[in-house]
Amino acid sequence: MKTPEPIKRFADIFSELPGVGPRQALRIALYAVHKGRSFIDLIAAAAVGLKQVKVCRRCFNLYENDGDFCEICSSSSRDAGIIAVVEKETDLLSIEKTGKFNGRYLVFGDMRRVGVLTSEQKIKLKSLEEDISNSASRKAKEIILALNPNPVGDVISSLVAEELRPFAEKITRLGRGIPSGGEIEFADEETLGEAISRRY
């Protein structure tokens, strides 16, 4: 039996999404068809709505308001002198949910290759350097390397720190250690070592 062409087209497109393979994309298409036309209209409207999303010229975060900058970069209540470098938008959203950070961001981009900055990442760093150089203080108060605490994140953090050192009074990384409610007995060696070395 031949798969209907609209279902095949839908599955081909959706299989390109991260975490969605060809079989799962086909299941999504079949599910949508069984849910009916009103559900398909909702999917179509949501997809068309993505056209309204823009990339901030300063931090490279996604936003939908008018102007060239996102609401974080446009806000006068944020501390523009403290900048968190994050890998992706979902990391930014997670930090924002804590309510503990009132600075701004640089969404750095996917870090798949160990020890190598992509040309896009180099452009983003240069953009940040120019932005800091054009500020009144000419240096950021603090740049926080909020990159994942794994081997790739560690290597990239070192490269970024070296690049940004002349543009910041201090460069920090997120603290690591035993999570609240955790037990020392069950902590792995690396986590426990970080907890000891980053004690306060």
The C-alpha atoms of residue 48 and residue 51 are separated, in whole angstroms, by 6
Say what the pLDDT of residue 154 is.
Answer: 87
Say what the pLDDT of residue 46 is.
Answer: 95
> Each residue's pLDDT tens digit in the chain (200 positions)?
788 999 999 999 999 998 899 999 999 999 999 999 999 999 999 999 999 999 999 999 999 988 889 999 999 999 999 999 999 999 999 999 988 899 999 999 988 766 688 899 999 999 999 999 998 889 999 999 998 888 888 889 999 999 999 999 999 998 877 677 777 677 788 777 776 777 65
pLDDT digits (tens, 9 = 90+) for 66-112: 888 999 999 999 999 999 999 999 999 999 998 889 999 999 998 87
CATH class of the 76-173 domain in this structure: alpha beta
Range list for CATH 1.10.8 in the chain: 5-52
Of 114, 127, 195, nearest in space to 163 by CA:
127
The C-alpha atoms of residue 186 and residue 88 are separated, in whole angstroms, by 30
What is 5-52's CATH topology?
Helicase, Ruva Protein; domain 3 (1.10.8)
Say what the pLDDT of residue 111 is.
Answer: 82
What does each C-alpha distance from 174 to 1, 34, 131 come to in angstroms? 55, 46, 23
Range list for CATH 3.40.1360.10 in the chain: 76-173
Q: What does pTM read for this prediction?
A: 0.81
Helix (H) or strand (E) holding 5: helix 5-14
The conformational region for residue 181 under phi > 0 = left, psi -120 to 50 = alpha, else beta, is left
